[in-house]
Amino acid sequence: MKNQLGLTKEFIIYRYFIQPQLDKANNSLIGYELLMKEKKPEGWRPPANFSDVPSHLMAQVLVATTKLLSLKIGSVSVNINRNQLMDEEVRDAIIEAQRILRPLKLVVELTEDTPNKDWSNEEYISLIKEFIDYGMDFSLDDCGTGTNQMDQIKDMIPLASEIKFAIQNFGEKLRDPDIENKVIYWRDICKKENIRFILEGIEDEKDDALADKLEIDLRQGYYYGKPRLLKLKADDDEF
């Protein structure tokens, strides 16, 4: 069954939340990341496995969401995993989203999730180049974890406009010297390649102060703003 917007009822269980990304040095908002969540009895939660989100639903939600974004910022980021990158329906939705958002720039973040098939980097790279040709930026998310280890992504780094490191993936966070060294490692790669480095997972004043110490300007985390639901008109329509 569809509502007056032509959206199926199952559409309403997925929504994008937006979280700010900041340039601490200039005290400015540089963009938002779109974070997909699923409506469950206990509230909105990230899907247990993003590959389980039907491609047609992800495409519907992404396009409907970008139609609402008229934010005075430089970019909007969207996460996809390798399975979704290889899905033509998802790629078409991303291209349509960039068309809607222009002149805002869409940043496609490739996550660290393990794919269902053993596709080659050459296959990924050819599709990433298509996004770049449409005016998008490419980002490598959660580097140093999952399938986004250096030996697995080194061929993609020349295509990237940014690299992200998520300290929330490590229990001790920046208070652990080993984690601090990992942050420095990825920060220095970005300096060498002249691309952006975003530190994610800043949750308190101590994290913020240590990011200052490491001279990392671009940041994201609960300390600066929690993800908030971006409501769509479909939420008020009756099915």
C-alpha–C-alpha distance, residues 199 and 47, integer Å: 23
Angle between helices 88-101 and 55-68 (to 10 degrees): 0
- Residue 238: predicted pLDDT: 40
Tell me the Cα Rg of the chain.
18
DSSP state, residue 235 = G
- Residue 239: predicted pLDDT: 33
- Residue 4: predicted pLDDT: 44
Q: In sequence order, what are the residues at sequence separation of 6 or more whose Cβ sits closer than 8 angstroms to the Cβ of residue 91? A: 85, 127, 130, 131
C-alpha–C-alpha distance, residues 29 and 31, integer Å: 6
Which tokens hold the place of 34? 């779109």
Average pLDDT, the chain: 89
Angle between helices 88-101 and 121-133 (to 10 degrees): 20
Q: For residue range 122-159, what is the model confidence (pLDDT) as tens digits?
A: 999 999 999 999 999 999 999 999 999 999 999 999 99
Q: For residue range 223-238, what is the model confidence (pLDDT) as tens digits?
A: 999 999 988 876 655 4
Q: For residue range 156-211, what is the model confidence (pLDDT) as tens digits?
A: 999 999 999 998 776 655 556 788 899 999 999 999 999 999 999 999 998 899 89
Over residues 8-33, the mean pLDDT reads 87
Instruction: Return the SS3 of 238.
Output: coil
- DSSP assignments along 64-125, one per residue: HHHHH---SSSEEEEEE-HHHHT-HHHHHHHHHHHHHHTTSEEEEEE--PPPSS---HHHHH
In whole angstroms, what separates CA 170 from the centre of its chain? Answer: 18
What dihedral do alpha carbons 191, 196, 197, 199 form, nearest 10°?
Answer: 160
Q: Contact, 159 vs 125, CB < 8 A?
A: yes
What dihedral do alpha carbons 180, 224, 24, 148 form, nearest 10°?
Answer: 40
Over residues 47-65, the mean pLDDT reads 88
Per the model's pLDDT, the better-predicted residue between 85 and 57 turns out to be 85
